[in-house]
Structure 1
Amino acid sequence: MNLLELLGVKTVRATATEAIVEIAVTDQLKQPFGVVHGGINTILAETAASLGANAGLDTTQQIAVGVNVETHHLYTVAQGRLRANAKPLHAGKRLQTWQVEVHEQASARLTSVSTVTLMITARQ
């Protein structure tokens, strides 16, 4: 089982111009004070950006891997469903940079914003 299966992250869409992933908020995703752990926002951001970046590559030859993630947590979430929407800011041949917004679906409230940089490398 990989991390995405373990956490229950679902891919909604993954193209070279947009990637969307979702996760249901469960007690397993919360920190001791009852709100979603900030690392979950970062996992969603890097996952969405990576899926989008790789959707534009021939992954039998190359893959995009995260080299930097910067996440700003804006609002806490204790229940509901989170949706991460990633769009490329720059899609170069060696580096890609994606902007990712995470929203709590029921309220549509923006809960975090991330910038993810990925390196394009030969598949080993």
Structure 2
Amino acid sequence: MEFELARQVLEAQPFSALLDARLASFGDGIAVLEVPVNDRLRQQFGLIHGGVLAYLADNSLTYAAALGLGPNVLTSGFSIDYVSAGRDGAVVRSTAELVHSSRRKATTRCRIEMVDNEGTVKLCAVAQGTVLATEPAS
């Protein structure tokens, strides 16, 4: 799958558009998605809501899998560990990598980080997932 097609797929997802998600990088076994931080993404303590981090895990894991399986994929499941609270930052970024791919199934993992305006990075969560092809890869 090419970067342009991947970007178009992301833009066609209404929920991704709601979060202003963007595809920052896509290729060589790595997919990077970013969501700009704004107050609508926070929970009652001012932290980035865990659902935003889970969204980034789900989508970035699936995009990384598409690098091996092609564009017609769906998340089968993933686990996420929240390792530190995300409060200060300009962007929440998820960097996912394709760990293994067969003809119909891929295993992927990602790091979700807060990045501030100076480029300082803080790890917030890690996740691993399984993604299935909805049709055989060509």
Question: Shorter chain as normaliser: what TM range?
Answer: 0.7 to 0.9
Residues 58 and 23 of structure 1, relative CA distance in 2, 3 Å threshold: closer
User: Matched residue of 1:122: which SS?
Assistant: coil
Large movers: runs of 4+ above 6 Å: none
Structure number with the bigger relative contact order (C-alpha 8 A, sep ≥ 6) is: 1
Alignment partner of 1:120 is 2:129: no
User: Matched residue of 2:62: which SS?
Assistant: helix
Alignment partner of 1:29 is 2:38: no
Q: Which runs of 5+ in 1 are unaligned?
A: none
| Root-mean-square deviation (Å) | 1.7
Q: Name which of 68, 71, 77 aligns with 2:77.
A: 68
How many percent of aligned residue pairs carry the same amino acid?
A: 23
TM-score normalized by the length of structure 2: 0.79
Q: Name which of 15, 27, 36 aligns with 1:3.
A: 15
Q: Take 1:13 and 1:116, find their aligned partners in 2: how far apart are those partners?
A: 19
**For residues 102-117 of structure 1, what are the structure 2 equivalents within 5 Å?**
102-106=112-116, 107-117=120-130
Q: Which runs of 5+ in 2 are unaligned?
A: 1-12
Q: Name which of 83, 106, 109 aligns with 1:99.
A: 109
CA contact (8 A) 1:18 1:87 kept: yes
Greater fraction helix: 2
Alignment partner of 1:49 is 2:61: yes
- Aligned partner of 1:103: which letter? E
Paired positions, count: 120
